[in-house]
Amino acid sequence: MVYIKTKKEIDYIRESCRIVAETLNLLKRYVRPGVTTIELDSIANDYILSNEAKSAFKGYSQGGSVKYPGYICTSVDDEVVHGIPGNRVLKEGEIISLDCGVVKNKYYGDAAVSVAVGTISQEKLQLMDVTEKSLYAGIEEAKVSNHLHDISFAVQEFVEKNGFSVVRDLCGHGVGKYLHEDPSIPNFGKKGTGILLKNGMTLAIEPMVNFGRYDVKIHNDGWTILTADSLPSAHFEHTIAIVNGKAEILTLS
């Protein structure tokens, strides 16, 4: 079931999204060689709590999965998404995806950014750039009377035109009343297919783009998704609301 939100509900979601955006902005300042992912997790939680909100990820379980132990997701290099914060020390030349979800007043916001750790290779820079630009290509298609997979097609077309691959086993999603709602939003698809987009929809659009093949595998921790070929991956995400016929990005800093 796709939930159509009222203006008041979108305002609540916007508040959660503001905290998400500010948390990610804060974390970007702390990403450097020598920092551990658990330190980033603690910084994020402190900031979220200071805004009278809670992490949407801590304790999250889906389909009987083990409860997620972190406040944010910290996915490094070949970790696509859902990397668990821990004692891993960030190293020069890595990239890290920081994924943050917040719930306040019973409404959710969700976003992610990929960040360079120190100086990174030209190939990784390009991977991050293409992934972020594909996100905005998808958002551009999130407008009334377009179809859901117009978003998917725009992401896929941009990514593949630049020589990378979109992950197919994971997708974006509706968000707002719950962390994950209908519809699922794949990052590949056929233009003109899928449900019609309407005012009041709130969506988390999130391209996950691999340097090599699109195949992924799951770590034995039950959460971390890795590239099957061990090559790096990047991840960017925004929560948007369709308002007055077009997308409003709620997680802009």
**pLDDT of amino acid 188:** 98
Written as six digits, the tokens of 4 are: 């159509």
The pLDDT assigned to 186 comes to: 98
CA–CA distance, 36 with 194 (Å, rounded to integer): 41
Q: For position 191, what pLDDT does the model report?
A: 97
**CATH number for region 7-249:** 3.90.230.10
- With a cut of 90, say whether residue 99 has pLDDT above it: yes
So where are the chain's domains? 7-249
pLDDT (mean) for 4-22: 98
**Percent of the chain residues topping a pLDDT of 70:** 100
Q: What is the pLDDT of residue 123?
A: 98
Residues 6 or more apart whose CB falls under 8 angstroms from that of 125 comprise: 116
* DSSP strand pairing (95-104 vs 73-76): antiparallel
Question: What pLDDT, in 10s, does the model give residues 154-180?
Answer: 999 999 999 999 999 999 999 999 999
- pLDDT at 65 (0 to 100): 81
**Distance, first Cα to last Cα, the chain:** 30
Contact 84, 67 (CB under 8 A): no
pLDDT tens sequence across 105-156: 999 999 999 999 999 999 999 999 999 999 999 999 999 999 999 999 999 9
- What pTM was estimated for this model as a whole? 0.97
Using the predicted structure, report yes or no on whether residue 253 has a pLDDT greater than 90. no
Q: What is the pLDDT of residue 3?
A: 98
Share of the chain above pLDDT 90, in %: 98
